[in-house]
Amino acid sequence: MCTKKGVIKKTKLKDFSRPRQTGVNAITISEGDTLLEASLTDGNSYIMMAVKSGRAIRFPEEKVRPTGRGAIGVYGIEVDDQEDEVVGMLCVNKEDKTKTILVVSENGIGKRTRLDEQNEETGEWEEVYRITNRGGKGVKTLNVTEKTGKLVGFLAVNESDDLFITCVSGVTIRTHVKSIREAGRATQGVKLINLDEGDQIAAIARIDEQDEEEVSEIVDESATISEESGNVQEDNSPNPESNPSNSAESDETNNDSITNETDDKE
């Protein structure tokens, strides 16, 4: 878990094995602070945190020892002032070299940067986001200027993912992650969306292939249910054989038959 003021806390999942109907305390929040995000981790990850001023920090998960549910936590990154705050926390597996870090500013500027780059001559992996101890200032992840605005989005993505960008005005666009250019860690990036005057980016979200498949399955199930409902309605449509007029004609025919039979007997 992390807060907007840079506090991070790790608690074992078994401590939440007996939840109450009204919920249980997960973290003690200091006055003026707010819980920002909570993530599951496998115990062997790098923790990354980014702040509005354009800095990000990367440190091993082992630097944060597990504490009880009622603990406050420890500082993960240092914030500049009262206006600065954390915008995102990531848990990235140490062995995963495929992910890139996506950052988006409030004025629609964004880019992707690799965590590590492979040296073409030696073949060794070199850190782009250097690994440090928790609680430091971190390194620049976006060159924040008046043109870019503050950092608002911070995600770990794959090239096969899609990105949703939502504006304060309510406008939302969807784009392929692979269409966003990779750039150096301390650069500004490129324009991802054209904003109207006074509009800004409110939030970003990632959709991976698995999420897309689940949505497709739900849509297919809904379509199947609709078709089945339509078939049931067609089966319940009036049957000509049950038409009252046809029944009356049938009764008259039967009566004529009975009369003829009686006459024959007489």
Is 241 contained in some domain?
Answer: no
Sheet order of strands, 2-3 included: 35-37, 2-3, 7-8, 74-75
Pairing of strands 100-105, 162-167: unpaired
> What pLDDT is stored for residue 253 in this prediction?
47
Is 246 contained in some domain?
Answer: no
Cα separation of 84 and 136, whole Å? 15
Q: What is the separation of C-alpha 86 from the centre of its chain, rounded to a whole number of angstroms?
A: 18
Is 174 contained in some domain?
Answer: yes
Is 260 contained in some domain?
Answer: no
Is 242 contained in some domain?
Answer: no
Is 236 contained in some domain?
Answer: no
198 by Cβ neighbours in 10 Å (0-12 / 13-18 / 19+) ranks as: exposed
What's the count of helices (H) and strands (E) in the chain, helices before strands?
2, 17
Q: What is the mean pLDDT of each run of 10 residues along the chain (266 residues)?
A: 96 89 90 93 92 96 92 93 92 90 96 91 89 94 93 94 95 94 91 92 88 56 62 54 49 48 44
Total residues found in the chain within this entry: 266
Q: Which of 23, 21, 56, 16 is nearest to 40 (CA)?
A: 16
Q: Which of 18, 8, 68 is nearest to 41 (CA)?
A: 8
215: tokens are 């949505």
Question: What's the whole-model pTM score?
Answer: 0.77
Q: Which of 145, 12, 9, 15 is nearest to 89 (CA)?
A: 9
Cα separation of 133 and 49, whole Å? 12
Cα separation of 247 and 216, whole Å? 49
List, for residues 75-99, the tens digit of each pLDDT value: 999 998 888 999 999 999 988 888 9
For the domain that residue 205 is a member of, what is the CATH number? 2.120.10.90
> What pLDDT is stored for residue 250 in this prediction?
47
Number of domains in the chain: 1
Which DSSP symbol is given to 182? B
Cα separation of 198 and 106, whole Å? 11
Is 230 contained in some domain?
Answer: no
Domain extent at residue 107: 2-15+24-215
> What pLDDT is stored for residue 265 in this prediction?
43
